[in-house]
Structure formats: C-alpha cells, structure tokens
C-alpha cells in the first residue's frame, strides 16, 4: 500500500503532437507532470492535504493523479478538460474530472456542478470549490489535460 499523500497540485495544459499519444504526452509536459509516472486514482482528496502550487517531484516518481483528458484529430474542433476539488470545512475533499468538446468555461462549470452533486450525494457540507481547466482548438492532433496530482 502506498502512503497517503500529504500534498496536492492542480495542473492543466494542452498541446499538439504527431500522434494522439504524443499529443497527450506533450499536454502532460505543458502541464508540468510529463516526466512523472501517473497512477490514475479515483476522486478523494485525503484529509489535511496541503495545496502546493508547483510540483517538486523527481522524474519517474509514481504519482497518484486524478485527471481528465481528451484527444482529437479533427482540425478546428474545440476540446477542453477540467478538474474541480470540493473541500469540507475540516476533513477530506472530493475531486471531479471532466473533458469534452466545449469551451474551458463550459468544462469548468460542468466539473463544479459535479463537485456540488458529489457533496450532496454524500450529505456533506461544501466549504469551498476550486476548478482549473484548459481548452485547445485542434490544428492537427491535440490533447487537453487537467489533473490533481497527489504527492508526499
């Protein structure tokens, strides 16, 4: 079992690439987590996690990450990804991810509503919501990526 993360960082980025996988990799690089090994996790922010604006992790580190991404090879298409975190007053948080063919603002609205819905379902009081998104107009092959990296 991995230790429970104590820090989190919200990141987003979008990029083009010669293939869908390269576009995804380039979006990771733009977002600042391209040299990490992402372990995709579901959407619970551990209690007492502290937000750190910049990741300070060695390349190759195993990094629990909740993320949304979308790739497209349709020139002119608008793609977006966003993440949102809902915080309780004194406990854990809930992370939601969204990606789609829409604007950044629409993606951020959707993910914020998903956070509110998750808190409602749990019967928890929502103290704060943070969202971060990105959008991209596809030139050839592109990816939009948004994530919450959890680290130690």
Catalytic residue among 14, 43, 80, 99: 43
Task: Indicate if 43 belongs to the active site.
Answer: yes
Q: Is the dihedral of CA 7, 91, 133, 122 positive or negative?
A: positive
Catalytic residue among 97, 99, 108, 135: 97
Under DSSP, the state recorded for 60 is T
| 3-129-34 Cα angle (round to 5) | 50
From the list 61, 60, 53, 58, the residue with the least C-alpha distance to 31 is 53
Catalytic residue among 19, 35, 37, 91: 37
- Distance CA(133)–CA(98), nearest Å, equals 9
Q: 36: which residues sit within 8 A by CB, 6+ positions away? A: 55, 57, 59, 60, 61, 62, 63, 65, 149
Both structure tokens of 34: 């391209």
Task: Indicate if 97 belongs to the active site.
Answer: yes
Which residue shows structure tokens 């990606």? 99
- What are the residue numbers of the active site? 37, 42-43, 97
């Amino acid at each position: 079992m991995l230790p429970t993360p104590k820090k989190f960082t919200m990141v987003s980025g979008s990029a083009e690439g010669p293939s869908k996988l390269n576009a995804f990799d380039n979006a990771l690089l733009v977002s600042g987590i391209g040299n990490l090994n992402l372990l995709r996790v579901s959407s619970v922010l551990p209690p007492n996690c502290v937000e750190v604006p910049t990741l300070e992790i060695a390349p190759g580190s195993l990094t629990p990450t909740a993320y949304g991404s979308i790739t497209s090879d349709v020139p002119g298409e608008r793609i977006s990804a966003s993440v949102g975190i809902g915080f309780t007053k004194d406990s854990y948080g809930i992370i939601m991810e969204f990606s789609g063919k829409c604007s950044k603002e629409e993606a951020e609205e959707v993910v914020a509503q998903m956070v509110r819905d998750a808190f409602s379902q749990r019967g928890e009081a929502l103290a704060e919501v943070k969202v971060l998104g990105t959008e991209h107009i596809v030139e050839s092959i592109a990816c939009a990526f948004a994530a919450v990296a959890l680290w130690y």
